[in-house]
Amino acid sequence: MGKLDSHTIMYGVFGDPIRHSKSPIMLNRAFEEAGINAAYAAFHILPGQLKDAVAGIRALQFRGVNVTIPHKVEVMDYMDEIDEGARVIGAVNTIVNDNGKLTGYNTDGIGYVRSLKEETGIELSGKKVLILGAGGAARGVGYALAKEGAKHIYIANRNPEKAVVLAASLSEFTGTTGLSSEQAGEAAGEVSLIVNITPAGMHPNVDSVPMDASLIRSGVVVSDTVYNPLVTRFLREAEARGARIHPGLGMFIYQGAYAFEYWTGVPAPIAAMRRVVEQSFV
C-alpha cells in the first residue's frame, strides 16, 4: 500500500466475522496498481451496529464500502438509492458514496457467474442447480444463474422458511423450489451444478461441510463460494467422488473487481488482485 496522507480516499468492508477477509489485501493492491491514493480496511460490525456504521460512511466521507455476512440484506434499509439488480436480488454488497448519497449495488452474482464460466466452461442454459444457503450472497448468485438460463434452482437451507422465501423471490425468473438442508440430498441427484453459499468450511471452521458429499454424482460441477481455505473440505470430498470442482477465489476476485470499477471508473487490475490474494495463502 502506498503512503497515506491527508488526500487519501478511504474504503472498507463491513462484516461479522471479518478478520479472515482478504479484501484489504486485494483492494489495497488494486489501488496501488492503478495509481490511486486510497486505503481499504476491514471493520467488525456487530449486530445492531450496522445503521450507525452506515452513517459513519457519510460522516467520515468514505468513497465506498463492501458489505459481507451477515449484513447484506439489512443494509438496504439505510441506502438512499438501490441499483435495480440489487433491488431484485434483495441484497447489497457494495456501497458507493457520491457526496453523501449512498447507492447500493450487488456484485456477488455477476462476479460468481463470470468466474464459474471461465474456470469450468459450464453451459448454464437449461441446467438444474442446487444452492446450499439462503442468505444475501445466495440471492445474488441465484438471480445471476436464473438470468443465465438455469432451468430450475433448488435452494436448501437449515431454516427451510428462508429457502422458500428466496425461492419465491426468484420464481419469476426460473423454476424454483425451497428445501430444508435435510432434503438437499434428494435434489443433488437431479442437478448439474451444486453451489455452497454458506460459511461451512470457512477458516477457522475448516472441517465443516454444507452437505454429505456421498450424495454427489460423478460429473457434477461442485462450486464453493468460500475462498479461505482455497480448496475446502467439501470440494476435496466432492472431487474424490468424481465431481468437477470450482473454488471460491474467482468469485471473490471478480466481485471485488466490479466494486472497484463502480468506485473508481477505472478498469480493475484483475491479474494483480488475484496474484496478491493467492500469495497471501502461501
133 belongs to an annotated ligand binding site: yes
136 belongs to an annotated ligand binding site: yes
23 belongs to an annotated ligand binding site: yes
Q: Which of 72, 127, 128, 147 is catalytic?
A: 72
137 belongs to an annotated ligand binding site: yes
Rounded CA-CA distance 174/222 in Å is 21
The helix/strand/coil state of 83 is coil
DSSP structural state of residue 210: S
227 belongs to an annotated ligand binding site: yes
Q: Are 280 and 249 in contact (CB under 8 A)?
A: no
**Cβ contacts of 99 within 8 Å, gap of 6 or more:** none
8 belongs to an annotated ligand binding site: no
Find, among 239, 250, 36, 8, the residue nearest to 258 by Cα.
250
219 belongs to an annotated ligand binding site: no
Rounded CA-CA distance 243/56 in Å is 45
Q: Catalytic site residue 151?
A: no
149 belongs to an annotated ligand binding site: no
176 belongs to an annotated ligand binding site: no
93 belongs to an annotated ligand binding site: yes
Q: What is the DSSP string of 1-29?
A: -----TTPEEEEEEESS-TT--HHHHHHH
| Other Cβ atoms within 10 Å of 279 Cβ, number | 10
Residue numbers in the known binding site for NADP(+) are: 84, 133-137, 225, 248
Residue numbers in the known binding site are: 21-23, 68, 84, 93, 108, 133-137, 225, 227, 248, 255
Residue numbers in the known binding site for shikimate are: 21-23, 68, 93, 108, 227, 255
Residues forming the active site: 72
